[in-house]
Amino acid sequence: MKQFTPSHAVNRLPEQFFAKLVSKLRTYEENGHDAINLGQGNPDQPTPDHIVSSLKKAAEKPIYHKYPPFQGFEFLKEAIATYYKREYDVDLDPMKEVAILPGSKTGLVELSQAFLNAGDVALMPDPGYPDYWSGVAMMDAVLEPMPLVKEHDFLPDYSAISEETWNKAKLMFLNYPNNPTGAVADRSFFEETIDRANRHDVCVVHDFAYGAIGFDGEKPLSFLQVPGAKDVGVEIYTMSKTYNMAGWRIAFAVGNQSVIQALELLQDHYFCSLFGAEQEAAATALLESQQCVEDLRQTYETRRNLLVEGLKALKYDVQPCHGSFFVWLGVPEGYTSEGFADELLEQVGLFVAPGNGFGTHGEGYVRIGLNNSEETLKDALERFKAFKK
């Protein structure tokens, strides 16, 4: 069979980290072993009933059996603006400052396609979500890592970035609450971010995927809550984590009008928006009772407390987790990230994500997800105890 050569853009794509992880786990299980999957960030709870019911009813409406408007229904954009005003006291123009996305991952890649040319610099958190790299690679741009280290509360140290790099940078990706470290950002950090972006003409992309998941009575701060944020960038919000809608693939970008306009223009050539009934269900999620969100947040906090306290009792080096549904665990002395992850799987059937898969500065850590029941996490702690012995 003839083999066709992919484009340079496709050949530049990095290995898909999570696909590699899943393949390793599948091989282990196919060999007859029992494993607890702590390595993925896939919500384990179902979508709330009232959202599913909204989809079912909306699916019967003939209007949604036709092509939807290219840039989405106005009612969903208005619901998003209402949500941001209610939750963050941020005013949004629904038609100019909101773009509907088929999942946040898609939007994050599209932003690189919309704003980077070959040789341009993108500032990237290290460690960070690996799919940020994909769009940068496709555009043949330059990825400049911003180290996230314990000594700086897993926030980038902007003073460590050279003036030359700042002047070449076109995009900056941020993500708080953070995947994989669980760190959160405060107002002063976002103020410094806005100042740097203004001075160097950098577009800020804040991935707010875990915006609803904050602990210890602290609600995570939206980038757009800080004055001047809309002047320099956008925030990406997904329905996946807040409402357990990961499989629905629906998200949105909010903020700077020129960025929203470019995103929607690009998507006009890719998609014809999302199934209208799904858009109506998303509006239901945003506008109706948020008790399901609070219940979910409390569930994750309970799980975090159980796991972190248990790991500390076993003398593991576990970092404080202030948001997201991840725990950032330091590997024992003498191990690499991958070596520790492999040993955990082979010896006690615990599957975790090695930190170096999130970037160079992820070495020395593994990421643990809170997407399992309390009983499963207790079982996991027993396995960590057995491994320690």
Closest CA to 109 of 197, 173, 162, 62: 173
Main-chain phi, psi angles of 321, to 5 degrees = -115, 105
Calculate the alpha carbon distances from 309 to 32, 98, 290 in Å. Answer: 31, 41, 29
DSSP state of 179: T
- Kindly write down the DSSP assignment for every residue of 360-373, as one continuous string: GGGTTEEEEE--S-
Q: Is 315 left (phi over 0), alpha (psi -120 to 50) or beta?
A: left
User: Distance (Å, rounded) from C-alpha 136 to C-alpha 109?
Assistant: 8
pTM of the model: 0.96
**pLDDT at residue number 23:** 77
Closest CA to 354 of 34, 127, 44, 124: 127
Helices (H), 132-288: 132-138, 163-168, 187-200, 229-232, 239-242, 257-270, 276-287
User: Distance (Å, rounded) from C-alpha 353 to C-alpha 67?
Assistant: 40
Q: What is the largest CA-CA distance in the chain?
A: 62
- The enclosing H or E element of 375 equals helix 374-388
**Domains of the chain and any CATH numbers:** 8-46+292-388 (3.90.1150.10), 50-287 (3.40.640.10)
DSSP state of 13: P
Q: Is the dihedral of CA 308, 310, 313, 316 positive or negative?
A: negative
Q: Is the dihedral of CA 145, 146, 150, 153 positive or negative?
A: negative
**pLDDT at residue number 79:** 98
User: Cα angle vertex 320, ends 349, 134, to 5°?
Assistant: 70
Residue ranges of the chain with per-residue pLDDT less than 50: none
**pLDDT at residue number 5:** 93
**pLDDT at residue number 127:** 97
